[in-house]
Amino acid sequence: MVKARLNPGDTVVFIGDSITDSGRRVEAPPLGNGYVSLFKDLVDVSHPELRLNVVNKGISGNTIRDLRERWEDDVINLKPKLVSVLIGINDVHRYLGGDVGLSPENFRKMYDEVLNLTVKSLDAQILLMAPFYVTRANTLNTFRRLILQALPAYINVVEELSKEYSAFFINLHDEFQRLLNYIEPEALAPDAVHPTRKGHMLIAWKVYEAVIGG
């Protein structure tokens, strides 16, 4: 598998919603208590010579629409060599709640717009992670089941865009569903959205594996 081409001192920007934010603006600045901080630790102990400048630009509650609004400030102007994006679960929630502006079609349009700007403005590699939902709810007619049914359309968008832009891609939903064969949902993400430390470790390891090496 091809790995990212990172040099000592390169900037890596992680952007997304609360899963990326993970308390980075209040409880644990600047990287938060989640997968971004864990990724930095993994790189620091395995490849200390890289001295990566890791930047967390996650903001709780964000959708792709919010990322589009702040993309130039929080991504382009930082001139990163690697941009990692994890977005989509809030889009699914709000679309099911009636926000048609966050339909899979509009999600794709806005996502494509920021990626297009990125490749035109930067000499950067891109990592796209699929949104995920950590639940086994597939029998009763519940909101959790509705999310599981709507989610694949958003995952497909991310995977298709990763191919179009020659980006790294991680299907986090598949990864979490695989773990559910062995680990209870409560141990990975009690509310199905926000990971525990164990859940964040999965994301951090998959990012590390994709861009640095297993």
Pairing mode, strands 168-170 and 11-16: unpaired
- How far is C-alpha 173 from the geometric centre of its chain's CA atoms? 11
CA-closest candidate to residue 116, choices 186, 165, 182, 67: 165
The DSSP letter of residue 102 is: G
Q: Active site residue: 17, 18, 84, 93, which one?
A: 18
Both tokens of 211, joined, read 């861009």
Amino acid at 17: D
> How much helix, strand and coil, in percent to the nearest 5, is found in the chain?
50, 10, 35
Of the listed 44, 73, 174, 191, which one is catalytic?
191
Token pair for residue 78? 């930082």
Kindly name the residue from 47, 99, 121, 194 that is annotated as catalytic. Answer: 194
Return all residues near 49 (Cβ < 8 A) that are at least 6 apart: 8
What SS3 class is residue 17?
Answer: coil
Give dist(CA 78, CA 53) in Å, integer: 11
Whether 173 is catalytic? no
Tell me, yes or no, if 18 is annotated catalytic.
yes
- Rounded to whole angstroms, the Cα distance separating 166 from 164 reads 6
47 is catalytic: no
Q: Which residues contact 109 (CB under 8 A, 6 or more apart)?
A: none
**Which residues have a catalytic role annotated?**
18, 191, 194
